Structure 1
Amino acid sequence: MIIESDVSASPNLIPTMLHFASVLGPAWSLVLFTLEEHWKMPYSPAFVRAVQRGQIEIRFLPPATELTRSHHVSDFLTRPWIWEHIESAHRVLVFQLDSIICSNSLYTIEAFFEYDFIGAPIDPQYGAGYNGGLSLRNPKLFVAIAKESDFRQSADHEFEDQWFYTEAVKRGAVLPTQLVAREFSVETIYHDRPLGYHQPQRWQRDKMKEVMDWCLEVGMLVGRRAV
């Protein structure tokens, strides 16, 4: 699942989605949530074919959904709407345009299905839990949290991923160790040869040679930064 309110403003959306579709394989379907008012089918024949065969699906966000700042994204993701639309899935891979999975990896996404929530572990100086920019989630748990708890009443968390982590711990969710989470994805804490990365140019700039040697696809992310 990827959420981009304005496809025309995201030039690397199509190659990134096609890359994820290729590495994930035909058993996976990708869902793009976007605003209908901004939607126009891309010219890319590869993208059109993926839509026609059902591997990529386009769904529309509620009109006037605002996602231009990180707090907008957190507010939207902590409401039930998005999770109710994907609740029937066993697990959902959430990705953003500043994340990538590596075709070199010996791991698969399915290898992490036992966990209710997993993403790159967050360095303690920035908080706790797992980064949501590239994360695998149990939508049934997330819709329950969104319905039962109120992010807007929480004074402890600014970001949706850390809030969901805290709520998941309270509910006894199955969560990975930091080592397993590092094998899944790298953001603020470095690890050799993970399955994927989130914002490596921002957080791992001193390790970019090692990152690029392992995961050439990281080059698709150049210039992407968090809002």
Structure 2
Amino acid sequence: MKFVAVLSAATTSRKILTGVGTFFVVASALVFYYFSANILQPSYYRDRIQIPETPFCPTLQKPYDERKLAFLVETRPLPHLPALFAHMTNLVPPEWRFRFMGSPEAMLFMRSNPFIARLEAAGKIIITGIPGNYSMAGRQEISQMFTDPYLYTHHLAPAEHLLVFQPDSVLCAKSPKTVNDFLEWDYIGAPWRPESKFGGNGGLSLRRVSRILMVLERERREMGHIQMEDEWLGNRMNKLPGAHMANASVSKTFSVEANVWDESPMGYHVGWMGVHHGQLWDNEEKVAHIMEYCPEVKMILGMKLMGDKPSGVERRGLEIDML
């Protein structure tokens, strides 16, 4: 019996010692964990979160540069206008905004297009009516509009770089250049002659507004003047102190119209009132090159280079079907 009692007491002692040992091990682990959490971890885990008195309001860069504006004015609800704007808004650098100024019919037509409606909702394109003091009845009236200082100081302000394009102009996705590559110039458009030192067609042109206003402060174009607005402005901008005008060798890389050829211009201007210039569009080799380099031009040509000449003006044998 004594042996059994002693054995039982020894067993109980071992259990107590084991329990005490386990307690100290667990307690030591907890103490180590506590101190390691407060000593070894970085301070940002220990510091209390400081809640600012005012909420954080980051200063975000505006998506559009108010100094850069692409501008088209048109009274006709032309079927290809939404497609043209969809194309141009993707090729012109993203900070540029677009302005469409049109008749009530043209505005309604543009806004009925879902893609154009999304562009307007995002602020990428601004659609407004043509002010009542302007007329689009003919070339003289259009020239008066583009030589009116009020157009620039009120309707298009605060734009400094103005990309003017028309329904018969387009940019090319394969072009190695963008509009921003030509911002240094006061005026640039498709050159009229290979020897041109300045100026160019206004149907696809980039203009510096501050220089235009300097011209219009000195002189106003008279209605009926033989020079249209692009030639009238270009001639006078070239005479301004410090004028920086692009010559034909530069202008042809911006746009090609008829008389001066370039293999890879940024864009094309087809011609006034849809008449395709024979120097270019009657040349089968050049047309084939354009269709390979800039197939987007089909949007502004229509689907055939046929029947585009006024009565009495003959083609030179080229009838090309672009379907």
TM-score (norm 2): 0.63
CA distance in 2, matches of 1:60, 1:140: 24
Cα shift at 1:38 = 5.6
CA distance in 2, matches of 1:143, 1:130: 18
Match of 1:19 among 58, 63, 87: 87
CA distance in 1, matches of 2:195, 2:160: 32
CA contact (8 A) 2:93 2:180 kept: no
Aligned amino acid, residue 289 of structure 2: E
Which position in structure 2 is the counterpart of 1:54?
A: 123
Deviations 1:197-217 (A, max 9, x none): 101643511121111111010
Which position in structure 2 is the counterpart of 1:82?
A: 151
CA contact (8 A) 2:194 2:248 kept: no
CA distance in 2, matches of 1:124, 1:75: 28
Q: What is the identity percentage for the equivalent residue pairs of Structure 1 and Structure 2? A: 29
Report the structure number with the largest CA radius of gyration: 2
**SS where residue 111 of structure 2 aligns?**
coil
CA distance in 2, matches of 1:219, 1:105: 16
CA contact (8 A) 1:71 1:158 kept: no
Deviations 1:18-38 (A, max 9, x none): 111011142111001123476
Is 1:99 matched up with 2:175? no
Gaps of 5+ in 2: 1-70, 310-323
Gaps of 5+ in 1: none
Q: Whose RCO is larger (CA < 8 A, sep 6+)?
A: 1
**SS where residue 152 of structure 2 aligns?**
helix
Q: Does the C-alpha gap of structure 1 residues 62 and 176 become closer, same or farther in structure 2, counting only changes over 3 Å? A: same
Aligned amino acid, residue 63 of structure 1: G
Corresponding residue pairs, total? 224
Deviations 1:101-125 (A, max 9, x none): 1011110110000001001111279
Cα shift at 1:145 = 1.9
Deviations 1:110-152 (A, max 9, x none): 00000010011112799x7211000000111112323321211
**SS where residue 194 of structure 1 aligns?**
coil
CA distance in 1, matches of 2:115, 2:293: 26
Is 1:209 matched up with 2:280? no
Q: CA RMSD in A?
A: 2.7
**SS where residue 190 of structure 2 aligns?**
strand
Which position in structure 1 is the counterpart of 2:12?
A: none
CA distance in 1, matches of 2:105, 2:269: 29
Q: Does the C-alpha gap of structure 1 residues 23 and 142 become closer, same or farther in structure 2, counting only changes over 3 Å? A: same
Aligned amino acid, residue 147 of structure 2: T
Which position in structure 2 is the counterpart of 1:130?
A: 200
Greater alpha carbon shift after TM alignment, 158-167 vs 217-226: 217-226
